[in-house]
Structure 1
């Protein structure tokens, strides 16, 4: 194909734009709900996705310009010509070198790729054209799938060959076009298998790694900001910083708890978990202060405590902090397992926003001094569009961007999302309750080196649980409690297992975080984490930045590739190190990870609620 025709055909198309990476925007990056870990595998949230545009290249009909009549050179033309002749040859060479170094031309089979890098935009732009007329070209475009699930609007005019992962025998020849397949909400580009295209793949991988580094940097900067709000006060210090609790219409909270009967289909009576001010029924076998608390009970638990806080005021003009007792998690649960429209799911949240906008305090600081406590993970409130039926779009509303949202799992790139601990089964009423439990677990006979309470995820092939279960069952040092057979329905079984174990494996489940992480810490069992988003990037007010003090980290990619045996790795940790970590967990962390009884009178210790409220007051005092 003559080069003129190639240029003409390429001129019809603009480069496939990557767009500005939203991972680098620390203000507001709308993430859609990862349905299952991802909630997806959260590590996937760091990687860029691929879009596919199909370019149907055809010859371009270009008009032949009329031949211009030769003209005598003017005086200006003569001067310009003389000046150009005086440009040093070295400068021209430098320009040519710059253009060559900032672009890459690759011929892959029947496809020509011309890629130009842009330092200013930190992106790579590529033009692709066929070396034959009417050749259809798939163009993978790097973008962030976890932020934007709006894939290409172009029609896919050809079905491309799908390559099995890690399959060398099934790789097509160099003329086979790329394909893009979707798995667990992440788009994967299967690149050509020849030396030149490996270079392309390495370039994309480098770009993705840079995006990962930028994303992690944003998350760490936000966590540092959150830590800067930590109060130095050990007790509630009001000093004119009053807390105003909105008296919402019952449909936003108490009316939701009244619908508890059939919220979760596999639980006969969810209402029993909301008894005792949402602590649930007592567990006398574990001792004083232990209850059958459900993991989604945070909203009413927090509400009960705020109502009795010493800084509560009843005049909104005396308040610095405005607490909105909306049970958004229960609002999701009541519809989640029912066949209703997204409009129905969103209706109460929209009503709430309208109600708040009609109140005087809301516009004063554009909602920045308002706080919501939500008892489910952030992704459940971030339905990006109506193509999904998961959750609500509460946290995608413009009015909800400024308020502080306290969640059991935060969205890592939203600075106003702050993670606070999952509610555990332990709710001490006094300092003595805390001390008695600390002594009990520090003296516990830990006969298991490792334990795992959980179940496999057969529908999620990237999940490492199956590998961990296999390694655990093959070792006498590891004890497995299989939750797939109902073994985890009773809190006593889990807590007793953790009390008898040195290390507790905590892989991601349906989302990166696990309530089990806090159950293990409260039991004095050292959590073994495989994803930094499980805890390290979640709870800056309740867990220290130095995660080696209380946990062991093993990269899940190492486990997935079977490059490490987790049990054998943990056997290498000296007994003295384990003891030091346990003492730090029990005496330094434990009191701040539990939510005290609604009538608790803790003086020596700060529980999770007290730490949270003190830091909230510190935050709003700086507005």
Structure 2
């Protein structure tokens, strides 16, 4: 990870080379979404779905951690031999034992209760509280870029087929990992910035409900966990949390830093709280509608598109400079805009009709804009020196995006001149590669590669130290 004020990261290492058998299937016309979080299926899901990268990454996280925490972790030599002999046929004939996950039965205020509080805080004044009368299974998670916490919770609650790589167990004594399903990112934004207006002062006084405190919820969650014997057993090292929002669980992160954290980046975490050794980079859920057409350049007249907040803190200060450099370029669309339904519609149209999509740093190094661009077949142009990306050990991001150093990107004329020199055929290659890495066959074999690579690294560098913790 990179801490604030440190120099940019070193040059990215070359990704692992996947077996040729992983690449034989033709790419799908667009991103394919799994019905289950851990298994691909043909049936469609409701309209709000996480991207396939999110779904596979979570499965990888749990499988990897099971291997790390297992007292009988395989040796590096045996892992290497298994990797060499892996093929689709051999994998299908001898599936690995599932990772056993214990899903904590938290008090409902930490799960469905967060959704109810969110809905109640936005309900029209003076009307009955719809969230209060809905059953748990009828509640819908709000559209949110950090919705992986919802999809993982729902998937673990569903009893899936026996051949899934993750098996939920009812007896915690059988568990390899313990999942804590607190909706930490949604809890952070339960209280709206602009509360619903009441008709008059008396109505406002009558409709004010119990206040919601995310800080109090965090404290109560950790206090509850600290009373659990399985948390105390290894001081939380075999527990898993999702805290995708950069500020999620900020109040208690020091108390849960032993646990595995599924995060979007490390922008607001110190080195003693999180690292790439124990934690997992989790992609954002895309917020705009995926592009439904095939690869094409002619239908994308704009050279470069960006829409978002112009003024950001930390590394995001570069945005204002980029606006000044790009706003007068004729074939560049760059707009200031906050999150809203209208903005999402405009962003969808802009990304679907542009060859390249700008991804500058914000308050933190990453944002859901990158994944919006990928589902739009709009080649990302990443201007974020400290960014960490999911699947970097498997996916060569230089084949699906363009990285530009901040110092060069802010030079007048540099970005546009560079992008105009990219040929139409090269843009089509980027688009085809984006499609290819979303193919189910690629993702399955990518899982094998990243697991083996990370296991070899951890076993050779950190295994002795790691095992002393547990």
TM-score bucket (shorter structure): 0.5 to 0.7
- Residue number in structure 1 paired with 2:170: 314
1:472 aligns with 2:341: no
Normalised to the residue count of structure 1, the TM-score between the two structures is 0.48
> In the alignment, which of 97, 101, 107 is matched to residue 243 of structure 1?
101
- Residue number in structure 1 paired with 2:342: 489
> In the alignment, which of 555, 572, 588 is matched to residue 405 of structure 2?
555
Contact 2:337 2:343 in 1 (8 A): no
1:508 aligns with 2:358: no
Shift of the alpha carbon at 1:403?
0.8
Map 1:359-508 onto structure 2 (within 5 A): 359-377=228-246, 379-382=247-250, 393-397=251-255, 400-410=256-266, 411=269, 413=271, 414-415=274-275, 416-425=278-287, 440-443=293-296, 445-457=299-311, 463-483=317-337, 489-508=342-361
Give the distance between the partners of 1:303 and 1:426, measured in 2 at CA: 23
Tell me the alpha carbon deviations over residues 225-257 of structure 1, each in whole angstroms, 9 at most, x when there is no partner: x99949979999561521111110011111111
CA 1:373/1:495 → structure 2, altered by over 3 Å: closer, same or farther?
A: same
CA 1:420/1:264 → structure 2, altered by over 3 Å: closer, same or farther?
A: farther
Contact 2:245 2:264 in 1 (8 A): yes
Q: What is the Cα-based RMSD across aligned positions, in Å?
A: 4.6
Contact 1:441 1:523 in 2 (8 A): no
Tell me the alpha carbon deviations over residues 188-236 of structure 1, each in whole angstroms, 9 at most, x when there is no partner: xxxxxxxxxxxxxxxxxxxxxxxx37xx47x989x99x99949979999
Tell me the alpha carbon deviations over residues 144-183 of structure 1, each in whole angstroms, 9 at most, x when there is no partner: xxxxxxxxxxxxxxxxxxxxxxxxxxxxxxxxxxxxxxxx
Map 1:514-533 onto structure 2 (within 5 A): 514-533=367-386
Give the distance between the partners of 1:279 and 1:325, measured in 2 at CA: 14
1:46 aligns with 2:5: yes
Normalised to the residue count of structure 2, the TM-score between the two structures is 0.62
Shift of the alpha carbon at 1:418?
2.1
CA 1:565/1:262 → structure 2, altered by over 3 Å: closer, same or farther?
A: farther
Contact 2:352 2:377 in 1 (8 A): yes
Shift of the alpha carbon at 1:583?
1.1
Tell me the alpha carbon deviations over residues 485-530 of structure 1, each in whole angstroms, 9 at most, x when there is no partner: x786353332232122111011122322111110001111111111
Give the distance between the partners of 1:458 and 1:350, measured in 2 at CA: 29
Tell me the alpha carbon deviations over residues 67-122 of structure 1, each in whole angstroms, 9 at most, x when there is no partner: xxxxxxxxxxxxxxxxxxxxxxxxxxxxxxxxxxxxxxxxxxxxxxxxxxxxxxxx
**Corresponding residue SS for 2:366:** coil
> In the alignment, which of 143, 154, 158 is matched to residue 304 of structure 1?
154
CA 1:240/1:473 → structure 2, altered by over 3 Å: closer, same or farther?
A: closer
Give the distance between the partners of 1:277 and 1:260, measured in 2 at CA: 11
Higher RCO, 1 or 2 (CA under 8 Å, sep at least 6)?
2
Give the distance between the partners of 2:224 and 2:96, measured in 1 at CA: 28
CA 1:404/1:381 → structure 2, altered by over 3 Å: closer, same or farther?
A: same
Tell me the alpha carbon deviations over residues 370-402 of structure 1, each in whole angstroms, 9 at most, x when there is no partner: 11112311x4543xxxxxxxxxx22122xx121
Contact 1:298 1:374 in 2 (8 A): no
CA 1:615/1:251 → structure 2, altered by over 3 Å: closer, same or farther?
A: farther
Give the distance between the partners of 1:511 and 1:264, measured in 2 at CA: 27
CA 1:461/1:362 → structure 2, altered by over 3 Å: closer, same or farther?
A: closer
Tell me the alpha carbon deviations over residues 277-313 of structure 1, each in whole angstroms, 9 at most, x when there is no partner: 7565xxxxxxxxxxxx321433222211222354122
Shift of the alpha carbon at 1:422?
0.5
**Corresponding residue SS for 2:345:** helix
> Quick check: which one's strand share is greater?
1
Contact 1:451 1:501 in 2 (8 A): yes
Map 1:1-12 onto structure 2 (within 5 A): none
- Residue number in structure 2 paired with 1:252: 110
Contact 1:263 1:333 in 2 (8 A): no
CA 1:336/1:482 → structure 2, altered by over 3 Å: closer, same or farther?
A: closer
Give the distance between the partners of 2:325 and 2:396, measured in 1 at CA: 28
1:353 aligns with 2:222: yes
Give the distance between the partners of 2:130 and 2:405, measured in 1 at CA: 36
CA 1:558/1:381 → structure 2, altered by over 3 Å: closer, same or farther?
A: farther
Listed as ranges, the gaps of 5+ residues in structure 1 are 1-25, 27-41, 48-211, 281-292, 383-392, 428-436, 592-602
CA 1:478/1:276 → structure 2, altered by over 3 Å: closer, same or farther?
A: farther
CA 1:581/1:229 → structure 2, altered by over 3 Å: closer, same or farther?
A: farther
| Alignment: residue pair count | 352
CA 1:522/1:270 → structure 2, altered by over 3 Å: closer, same or farther?
A: farther
Listed as ranges, the gaps of 5+ residues in structure 2 are 17-59, 68-82, 124-128, 196-211
CA 1:556/1:302 → structure 2, altered by over 3 Å: closer, same or farther?
A: same
